[in-house]
């Protein structure tokens, strides 16, 4: 099968599409013929040598496609089913991928939009769980217009929370459509939030990593009421929790968002799509911030 891989650390030019043996699912796993695979910041962090140090490395943690092989002890799925899900092996940007967690692709979604969901939905649900977002709480999502941010907005709204979302003015209509009350980010953001919620917010989630954790702590009232998924050093300086998947993943979110998407209450915007052979261009686009929305690789 064809797969994206790199054999040395560096810029997008180190990426190549190579032939690798077909993977096979183990117990409680399935294999899909990949139709689309999401691209995330973690992919270029791996490529730059900021994460795992082993070489060579494949790429991709989320994909959508057709089930074509099923491991042992896997009820409720059949060959030919359309699914989207998470690959634990970091090898989803390929013609075939093994998934450990999955859900049916909702009828309203094509493969590209389905492949854009898993990582954002799991990250958002995990962070909301750790914050304790429930009905009646007011939560501020800093960076609400991105993939994880928009997922967090939609999932928090589904829980019955009031959501304040920061984003550029050009994103405010989209944030309102998701159920958030938009506030412009940048200088003066805390004052704009207090104009909407004079007493501050109950909880805050930072997905932008824009250096505003002290302001979020002030708005929420205490460091333990704030979580970041994007500012590790800021979290250490402020006492804010940094959410990471190695403390338990919210994989249940896949089935939840599939149900919401079926009724038009959940989606992730796809910014641009690329064929697998142009994976380097997808990295360049993502690192430059040249597309609003998720980047997705499409298989021929």
243 and 127 inside one domain: yes
Indicate the number of domains in the chain. 2
Q: Does residue 244 have a pLDDT over 90? A: no
94 and 128 inside one domain: no
Per-residue pLDDT of 120-174, as tens digits, reads: 999 999 999 999 999 999 999 999 999 999 999 999 999 999 999 999 999 999 9
106 and 138 inside one domain: no
Query: Span 256-269, mean pLDDT?
Result: 94
Q: Is residue 262 part of a domain?
A: no
Per-residue pLDDT of 206-215, as tens digits, reads: 999 889 999 9
15 and 50 inside one domain: yes
131 and 103 inside one domain: no
33 and 91 inside one domain: yes
We report the CATH number of the domain holding residue 221 as 3.90.180.10
What token pair was written down for 16? 């190549």
Q: Does residue 247 have a pLDDT over 70? A: no
132 and 104 inside one domain: no
Q: Does residue 117 have a pLDDT over 80? A: yes
11 and 92 inside one domain: yes
Q: Are 189 and 208 spatial neighbours (Cβ–Cβ below 8 Å)?
A: no
Q: Are 26 and 41 spatial neighbours (Cβ–Cβ below 8 Å)?
A: no
111 and 132 inside one domain: no
132 and 105 inside one domain: no
Question: Which pLDDT does position 249 carry in this prediction?
Answer: 86
Question: Which pLDDT does position 210 carry in this prediction?
Answer: 83
Q: Does residue 248 have a pLDDT over 80? A: no
pTM of the model: 0.94
| Residue 105 structural domain | 2-116+269-298
85 and 8 inside one domain: yes
């Amino acid at each position: 099968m064809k797969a994206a891989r790199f054999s040395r650390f560096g810029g997008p030019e180190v990426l190549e599409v190579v032939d690798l043996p077909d993977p096979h699912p183990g117990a409680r796993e399935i294999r899909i013929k990949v139709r689309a695979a999401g691209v995330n910041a973690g992919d270029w962090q791996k490529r730059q040598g900021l994460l795992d140090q082993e070489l060579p490395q494949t790429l991709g943690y989320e994909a959508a496609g057709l089930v074509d092989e099923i491991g042992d002890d896997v009820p409720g799925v059949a060959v030919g089913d359309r699914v989207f899900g998470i690959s634990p092996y970091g090898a989803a940007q390929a013609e075939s991928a093994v998934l450990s967690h999955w859900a049916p692709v909702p009828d309203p979604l094509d493969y590209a939009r389905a492949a854009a969901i898993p990582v954002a939905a799991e990250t958002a649900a995990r962070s909301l769980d750790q914050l304790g977002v429930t009905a009646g709480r007011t939560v501020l999502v800093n960076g609400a217009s991105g993939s994880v941010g928009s997922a967090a907005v939609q999932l928090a709204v589904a829980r019955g929370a009031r959501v304040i979302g920061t984003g550029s003015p050009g994103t405010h209509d989209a944030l309102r459509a998701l159920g958030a009350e938009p506030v412009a980010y940048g200088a003066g953001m805390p004052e704009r939030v207090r104009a909407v919620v004079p007493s501050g917010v109950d909880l805050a989630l930072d997905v932008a990593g824009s250096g505003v954790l002290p302001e979020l702590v002030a708005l929420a009232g205490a460091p333990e009421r704030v979580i970041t998924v994007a500012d590790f050093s800021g979290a250490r300086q402020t006492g804010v929790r940094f959410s990471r998947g190695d403390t338990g993943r919210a994989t249940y979110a896949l089935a939840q968002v599939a149900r919401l998407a079926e009724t038009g209450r959940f989606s992730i915007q796809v910014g641009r799509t690329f064929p697998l052979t142009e994976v380097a261009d997808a990295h360049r686009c993502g690192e430059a911030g040249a597309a609003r929305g998720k980047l997705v690789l499409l298989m021929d």
